[in-house]
Amino acid sequence: QVQLVESGGGLVQPGGSLRLSCAASGIMFSILRMGWYRQAPGKQRELVAAITRGGGTNYADSVKGRFTISRDNGKNTVALQMNSLKPEDTAVYYCNIQILGVEYWGQGTQVTISS
């Protein structure tokens, strides 16, 4: 059974940094794509960043230049380094992986940017 465990959320002041991590277990096949989504109150879930097995990345325009996604294929982990955080980055962040066309989600971790 595939499980995703996220860590690293919390409360930080504007301009601060956080690093989110996600570890996948129960993986029997290669993970094609790993990513992070977020959902703010009253808004739809949106893609923040994604990375392919080969290292190709894409980012939401709102986070380009501030967030960096990385992965370790050997450990089935994905991380999101978030710098220069803004209040509008406040949301629940979800880890997402795709295996053989099936998507799996983490339980979500709260990120709050506030002074």
Question: What are the pLDDT digits (tens) for 45-66?
Answer: 999 999 999 999 999 999 999 9
The answer to whether the beta carbons of residues 19 and 66 sit under 8 Å apart is: no
Closest CA to 7 of 99, 77, 68: 77
The answer to whether the beta carbons of residues 51 and 68 sit under 8 Å apart is: no
The answer to whether the beta carbons of residues 55 and 68 sit under 8 Å apart is: no
The overall average pLDDT reported for the chain is 95
Does 13 score more than 80 pLDDT? Answer: yes
Spatial distance between the Cα atoms of 106 and 22, rounded to a whole number of angstroms: 8
